[in-house]
Structure 1
Amino acid sequence: MEDRQEMIRADRLAYNYIKYDEEGREKETIRAVDGVSFEVEKGDFVAILGHNGSGKSTLAKHINALLTPSEGTLWVDGMDTSDEERLWDVRQSAGMVFQNPDNQIIGTIVEEDVGFGPENMGVPTKEIWERVEESLKAVNMLKYRHHSPNRLSGGQKQRVAIAGVVAMHPKCIVLDEPTAMLDPNGRKEVIRAVRALNQVEDITVILITHYMEEVIYANKVLVMDDGKVVMHGTPREIFSQVEKLKSYRLDVPQATLLAWELKQAGIDLPDGILTREELVEALCQLY
């Protein structure tokens, strides 16, 4: 098997938020990310979990160089994000999708919005339209290309926001709670689009979420608490540790929880069941 290439590497990354008083004097320092080290390979789908205030969004903003480390180093595609001369290159390699699509959509027509990024990058007009078409196809929104974004549902808007990032041909997409403001159908649409980008286009995906059902599609999971990475592994390894996750105030997928509770009640089930289908299969094998 060929060696996979490194996409992101953090080495003892730390970030401090500094609070100032009304006179502008430094009042207190809050360590939001505290000595984090990890690696992401090209083509990975990594989910980052943690309750509010765990540092996961602060970490995400480092990957797109919206923040630079107070200590330690973060490399994206071999580039040190603290190197100001490489800032533009880092942001071209790692695109960012935020929680609220309304803050990211600026065009009055869907295809204009998606073409905005490549146009700013100086991509020739003919190629812009090719990119618009391929990225709208990738998120299954091509038939809405002439629509106004205002007339779209939340899930559709978020898919347009993702297409706008994809059109800039990033190697990696960071999604910071992209489904937090959506209904269950919108969440499914967005996660389906994200999985397709990862599996079909081989784009590296970093997904920050608090919806456990979205995590089962990742191949790596990082759990953050109080600015540190406290657990890492595959979804199955992570969700096999229900009590530990509860201690970090995190849930597990419903099927995992039910299987765990049945196991507590003395039914002989394997650890780390992730989906309803797996649970049904395991129960059928018992009886």
Structure 2
Amino acid sequence: MHFPKQIEIIEVGPRDGLQNEPIFVSTEKKQTLVKLLAKTRVKRIETASFIHPNAVPQMADAKEMVRFSVEQGLSFLALTPNKKALELAIQNHVSQIAVFVGASETFNQKNIRRTIDESLAECTEMFMRAKEEQLFIRGYVSMCFSCPYEGVISYDQVKKVVSHFVQHGVDEISIGDTNGQANPKIVYERFLKLREDFPQIIFVGHFHDTNGLALPNILAAIQAGVERFDASISGLGGCPFSPGATGNVATEKVVSMLHQMGIETGIDERNLAEASAFVKTLFK
């Protein structure tokens, strides 16, 4: 089996984790959470989304969160789902952006009301603009294993989106088990094939723990050569447009497992526990 010396964990709790919570978390509490996460020495934190507040009210304070992240000197990502969002991110001095497209046609239309081809066309323009500003670009591919609307997602469906991202020069691609229905076999096979077809690209694993298989799926992805993973403090999260999807895999569980295996993350578990304890106070 393959056990790398180090794995990078990207903390997505403040954005992907909180976006589906029905009770609005104050900007002050979000900022405190980000501060606590920064203390853990996690390298990157996804802190905001410039999505329209009518679609995701929890992200209405994106400008404030980005301003705070810049002031704190953090290495952070902001989600920019369209051209308008990208311009807002640029105006607010974001240096790392993320865009997303679903591998499932039905999901993509329900999620952002566009076909995959329409989304990819807009991405082309966004990538050109982002490169003008010398931004780091992450591409999210959602529903890469199965979909609540279409069932099993084929490799070719995933490859279509990944190919477009690669062609237009993204810096990394996060492959999402958005509804948490993947298993270690398909995870291993899919990542192995992606790395064979796109050896120059850095892939990130993004797993939800709907069926309790997120940790085994991470191990399977590691065996396929993946060395970056998204995780969310206390398992916060879930996609508002994916029925039945539960939280992202918990950062503290991933870090604990990797450390027990002798794999370094650079993350302080004691400070991570403090951040996890704070999460429990967010909705009181």
Same fold (TM over 0.5): no
TM range (shorter): 0.3 to 0.5
TM-score, normalization by structure 1? 0.39
Identify the structure with the greater strand proportion.
1
